[in-house]
A and B are shown apart, each in its own frame.
Chain A
C-alpha cells in the first residue's frame, strides 16, 4: 500500500473519486499556500493583507484545472506553477495601489486567525454577483455544509442539476477573479 500521507498519492486517490482524500489535499495545499503567498507578497513589496484571497483564487484554479496535472508526475511542481501564475496575476491586477506598512502586516497576521474574516474576502463579494440560484447553492453546500442531495430536495431540483449549477458557479467565480472585479 502506498504512503497515503504523500500529497501526490492523495491527489491520485482524489481523482479516483475519494472525497476525503480530496478534502485532505485541499486542506494541506491551503496551509502551504498561505505561507508561500504571504512570503512572496511581502518579498514583492506588497501588502499581504489580501493573501487569503490569493489562496482562495489559487485553490479554485487548482480545482478547475485539475485535468492538466499529469498523474504520472509529482503534484508539487504543478501546484507551484499554478500558485506562481495566480500570484503574478494578482500582483499585476492590483497594480501599485497598495503600499506595505507595518500596520498592514499586523492586520494580515490578525486576519489569518480571525474566524469572522470571511465577510471581507473577495470570494464573499464575488459570490454576491452570481445569479441568485447559483449563489444559494454554493452557500448551502459550502457555508451550511449540506450535501448536494439535501440541497436538491430543498430546492426541488435533481441532484445532477445541483451539481451542474455548483460547477457553473465555481467557473463563474474563477472568471470574476480573472476580470479583476476584486
Chain B
C-alpha cells in the first residue's frame, strides 16, 4: 500500500474521535474504584468512631496525605503514559514527601519518645498490608486496561505509575476503615503496602503497555 493510500484510510478514520488521555483515565479510575468501594463497604466498612475521628488533626492529616498521593499519582500516571520522556517525572511526588516529613516531624515533637514505637507499630499493620493491595486490584486492572490506549516512553514505568495510582485509590478507601491515624503508622505501612502493587503494575505494564 502506498503511503498516500494509507493516509486516506487514516483520514477516513477521523482525527477527532477519542478523548484526551487525561480525561479517560479519570473514568477508568472511577470505574475501578467503584468496585473497590463496594468491596470495602461489604467486607471492611467505615470505622465506628468516624465522627470523632474527623475532628482530630491526625485523621485529617492522614486524609490529606492519601488524597494528595492520589492526585499526584494520577498526574504522574498521565505524564508517563505519553511518548515524550519527562526526565523529572518523579519530582511530581515531592509535595507528598514534604507533607509526610512535616507530619512525621510534628508527631515526633508531640509524642514522648517512649510512645514512638507503639504508634509506629499500631494495631493494624498486617490488616493494612493486606487490605490496601486487595482494594487496589480492581483500580489496577481498570487503569492498566485503559492505558493500553497510551503510548508510554517506558511501558514498565507507566505500569509502575498505574500501580501507584491503584495503591493510592486503595489507600484512600482503607484510610476510612483503619483507626491507626499516627503519621508514623501511615508513612510506614501505607508505603510498604503500596510497594507490591507498584511492582505488579511494572511487571504487567511491561507486557501490556507495549505499542
Please give the residue numbers on chain A whose beta carbons come within 8 Å of chain B beta carbons, in ascending order. 11, 14-17, 19, 22-23, 25-27, 30, 52, 55-56, 59-61, 63, 65-71, 73, 77-78, 81-82, 85, 115, 117-118, 121, 123-124, 127, 138, 141-143, 145, 147-148, 163, 166-167, 170, 174, 178
Within 8 A of A (CB), among B13-27: 13-16, 18-22, 24
Chain B nearest Cβ from A62, distance in angstroms: 9
B111 interfacial by beta-carbon distance below 8 Å: no
Contact of A81 among B12, B19, B20, B153 (CB under 8 A): B153
B residues near A127, Cβ cutoff 8 Å: 1
Cα–Cα, bound, A167→B2 (Å):
18
Please give the residue numbers on chain B whose beta carbons come within 8 Å of chain A beta carbons, in ascending order. 1-3, 5-16, 18-22, 24, 81-85, 149-151, 153, 210-211
A17 touching B9, Cβ below 8 Å: no
14 contacts between A and B (CB under 8 A): A11-B15, A17-B15, A19-B14, A23-B8, A56-B1, A59-B6, A68-B83, A68-B149, A78-B84, A85-B153, A138-B9, A145-B8, A148-B12, A163-B12
A60 touching B10, Cβ below 8 Å: yes
A123 touching B211, Cβ below 8 Å: no
Residue on B nearest A70 in the bound complex, by CB: B82
B150 touching A65, Cβ below 8 Å: yes
A71 touching B1, Cβ below 8 Å: no
A143 touching B1, Cβ below 8 Å: yes
Contact of A67 among B7, B12, B14, B24 (CB under 8 A): B24
B15 touching A123, Cβ below 8 Å: no
Contact of A68 among B2, B8, B13, B21 (CB under 8 A): B21
B residues near A73, Cβ cutoff 8 Å: 84
Cα–Cα, bound, A14→B10 (Å):
12
The 4 closest A-B pairs by CB, nearest first: A81-B83, A142-B9, A17-B16, A65-B151
Cα–Cα, bound, A123→B71 (Å):
42
B12 touching A78, Cβ below 8 Å: no
Cα–Cα, bound, A56→B207 (Å):
24
Residues A85 and B2 in contact in the complex (CB < 8 Å), given A22-B15, A141-B8, A170-B10: no
